[in-house]
Amino acid sequence: MFSKACEYAIRATIFIASESDKGKRASLKDIAREIDSPEAFTAKTLQKLSKSGIITSIKGAHGGFTVSPDNMDYIKVAQIVVAIDGDTVYKRCSLGLESCSEEHPCPFHSKFKPVRQELQQIVENTSLKDLVTGLVSGDTFLKV
């Protein structure tokens, strides 16, 4: 449902937050390696996340990317989704029809509408801290 860029952004943010939770800064190389993403693509994604205030970019020899541990409870996955994909994931037609709407539904509209609504609920109610907790405890993984 999310674009590939959005998937990478969510994974990158989780990794950066887990490193921040340990008191470390994550480098571009480490992030790209950990989320299996090309460095140039990862850099553009991180730039969008930084401009949106989700992550912090620190320049210099000891720089890197961080997420304030105090903010992890308040950063919701929905913020990452909107920063990368906008809110179209909740609005676009599942069949790609531009004319699909409540007034002119496509054949799949009524089936897909509750899925979009549930997805929106999940990302709006899931914090970065929720996701980092599973990663730090070893219950969840970013790559196998």
What are the Cα distances from residue 46, in Å, to 42, 51, 56, 91, 119? 6, 9, 9, 25, 23
Specify the pTM: 0.90
pLDDT digits (tens, 9 = 90+) for 50-64: 999 999 999 988 889
* pLDDT reported for residue 141: 87
List phi, psi (to 5°) of 64: 145, -160
Q: Give me the domains of the chain, ranges plus CATH numbers.
A: 4-137 (1.10.10.10)
Instruction: Kindly report each contact of residues 55-62 with a partner whose C-beta sits within 8 Å and lies 24 or more positions away, as own/partner.
Output: 55/13, 55/16, 58/25, 62/25
How far the first Cα of the chain sits from its last, in Å, is 21
* pLDDT reported for residue 144: 56
| Helices and strands (H and E) in the chain: how many | 6, 2
Residues of the chain with pLDDT under 70: 144
* pLDDT reported for residue 1: 74
Look at residues 9, 143, 1 and name the one whose alpha carbon lies nearest to residue 75.
9
Tokens linked to 86: 């906008």
Radius of gyration of the chain (CA): 17
